[in-house]
Amino acid sequence: MATVLLVALVAGGVVCALVICVLWQFHGALDRTPPDVGAFAHSAATRTAGATTARTSSARLTNLTSALPWAVPVGTSVADSCQTEDRNPFLGPASWAPINCVRSTVSYLAFDGDIRAHLHQLDAVLAEQEWVGSDSSLNTLTGMATWLSQAGGDPSPAASSSQRGSTEPLPRP
Q: pLDDT tens for the chain, 173 residues: list them.
A: 767 666 777 777 767 667 775 665 665 556 668 899 999 999 999 999 999 999 998 999 999 999 999 999 999 999 999 999 988 777 667 788 999 999 998 889 999 998 888 988 988 888 888 876 555 566 778 877 777 777 665 555 554 444 444 445 555 54
Q: How many distinct helices (H) and strands (E) make up the chain?
A: 5, 2
**Phi, psi at 16, each rounded to 5°:** -60, -45
Q: Please give the Cα distance from 98 to 88 (Å, whole number).
A: 13
Contact assessment for residue 68 and residue 109, using Cβ atoms and an 8 Å cutoff: yes
The pLDDT value recorded for residue 98 is: 93
The pLDDT value recorded for residue 167 is: 46
pTM: 0.58
Contact assessment for residue 63 and residue 125, using Cβ atoms and an 8 Å cutoff: no
The pLDDT value recorded for residue 158 is: 53
How far lies 154's CA from each of 33, 67, 83, 122, in Å?
51, 26, 39, 18
The pLDDT value recorded for residue 24 is: 58
Contacts 24+ apart (CB under 8 A), 147-156: 155/115, 156/115, 156/116
The pLDDT value recorded for residue 82 is: 94
For residue 72, what is the DSSP state?
E
